[in-house]
């Protein structure tokens, strides 16, 4: 009998030991991948779109507040596939960014079957407005800044600077326009015209998308697509925004749509231990290997020197 008791006592100790080990492993895993232990129990996903919109984050954006279309697309897909999520709120506080990245996010929003609401807080201009317009409903604060439907491309020109220091740019190209937009020489009229043509095309896509998303006539959007920004209250009059308000209005609208009480849950990429460590390592290498100054001279290609933003 005593022997039997001892056996059960051993089993009990073993079970306690394995339970502790199980918990330790789960804590370790969550520390490494950054899984949020608060759980994803809500029925409305909130996805933040903050800072410049870029296609993917890289070392250049370490110190900037950016939103990557890759990450946002993943979060949208995850929310879309989660049965308990009935609606997705995009909390926007961004001046826009890459045209490609903005369109990627906008397309992903349009694909989802859930109710989507764009909530513009302080700023939702340009590419960020493109994203907002693709949601089912747009709510903005009356003092928020939105609109700015336009495209900008710019780069720093060094040709005058080089001339002053008697440094010459030796041009060796196969293909007359290969070095178009390089910062060491001025744009020719032909190159400038080509650039402007491309920008016009992007602007036209932007206008078409906004007109389609907001159910407006293209002509009407063209009139307001001067790149000018509008206050929330003006945007409402122009049809760029459906309602003025804040979180309360967002919740009220969604409750009407889904017919149940709203329980918001943040969808965001958690920064795990590994990710944080890799960021620290990246920062070190950024300073050691790259430096600030030499990046001007290594980035002589068009793609690196000219940035096109919406």
Closest contact distance (angstroms) between CB of 4 and other proteins is 8
Looking at the Cβ atoms of 81 and 223, the one nearer to other proteins is 81
Give the span between the Cα atoms of 27 and 35, in whole angstroms: 9
Looking at the Cβ atoms of 78 and 247, the one nearer to other proteins is 78
| 194, two tokens | 């080509």
Closest contact distance (angstroms) between CB of 214 and other proteins is 30
| Whether the Cβ atoms of residue 72 and residue 49 lie closer than 8 Å to each other | yes
Helix axes 99-111, 69-81, angle to 10 degrees: 0
| Burial group, residue 85, by CB count within 10 angstroms (0-12, 13-18, 19+) | buried
Closest contact distance (angstroms) between CB of 41 and other proteins is 9
Closest contact distance (angstroms) between CB of 27 and other proteins is 9
**Residue 133, Cβ neighbours under 10 Å: how many?**
25
Closest contact distance (angstroms) between CB of 49 and other proteins is 21
Q: How many CA atoms lie within 13 A of 45 on its CB side?
A: 28
Containing 280, the helix (H) or strand (E) segment is helix 273-285
Looking at the Cβ atoms of 33 and 233, the one nearer to other proteins is 33
Looking at the Cβ atoms of 38 and 197, the one nearer to other proteins is 38
Q: By the criterion CB under 8 A, which residues form the site for other proteins?
A: 7-8, 10-11, 14-15, 18-19, 21-23, 25-26, 29-30, 33, 35-37, 39-40, 74, 77-79, 81-85
| φ, ψ (nearest 5 deg) of residue 110 | -65, -30
Looking at the Cβ atoms of 74 and 142, the one nearer to other proteins is 74
């Amino acid at each position: 009998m005593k022997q039997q008791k001892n056996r059960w006592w051993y089993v009990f100790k073993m079970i306690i030991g394995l339970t502790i080990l199980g918990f330790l492993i789960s804590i370790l895993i969550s520390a490494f991948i950054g899984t949020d232990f608060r759980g994803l129990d809500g029925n409305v996903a909130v996805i933040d779109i903050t800072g410049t919109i870029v296609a993917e984050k890289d070392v250049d954006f370490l110190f900037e507040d950016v939103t990557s279309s890759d990450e946002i697309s993943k979060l949208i897909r995850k929310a879309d596939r989660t049965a308990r999520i009935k609606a997705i709120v995009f909390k926007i506080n961004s001046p826009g960014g890459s045209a490609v990245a903005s369109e990627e996010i906008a397309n992903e929003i349009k694909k989802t079957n859930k109710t989507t609401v764009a909530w513009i807080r302080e700023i939702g201009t340009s590419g960020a407005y493109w994203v907002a317009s693709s949601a089912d409903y747009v709510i903005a604060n009356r003092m928020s800044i939105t609109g700015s439907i336009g495209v900008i491309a710019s780069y720093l020109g060094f040709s005058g600077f080089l001339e002053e220091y008697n440094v010459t740019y030796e041009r060796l190209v196969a293909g007359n326009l290969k070095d178009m937009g390089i910062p060491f020489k001025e744009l020719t009229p032909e190159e400038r015209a080509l650039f402007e043509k491309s920008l016009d095309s992007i602007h036209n896509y932007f206008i078409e998308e906004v007109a389609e998303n907001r159910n407006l006539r293209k002509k009407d959007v063209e009139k307001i697509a001067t790149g000018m920004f509008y206050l929330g209250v003006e945007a409402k009059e122009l049809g760029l925004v459906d309602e003025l308000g804040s979180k309360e209005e967002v919740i009220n609208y969604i409750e009407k749509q889904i017919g149940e009480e709203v329980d918001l849950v943040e969808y965001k990429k958690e920064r795990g231990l590994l990710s944080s460590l890799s960021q620290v390592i990246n920062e070190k290498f950024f300073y050691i290997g790259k430096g600030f100054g030499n990046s001007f001279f290594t980035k002589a290609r068009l793609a690196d020197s000219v940035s096109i933003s919406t």
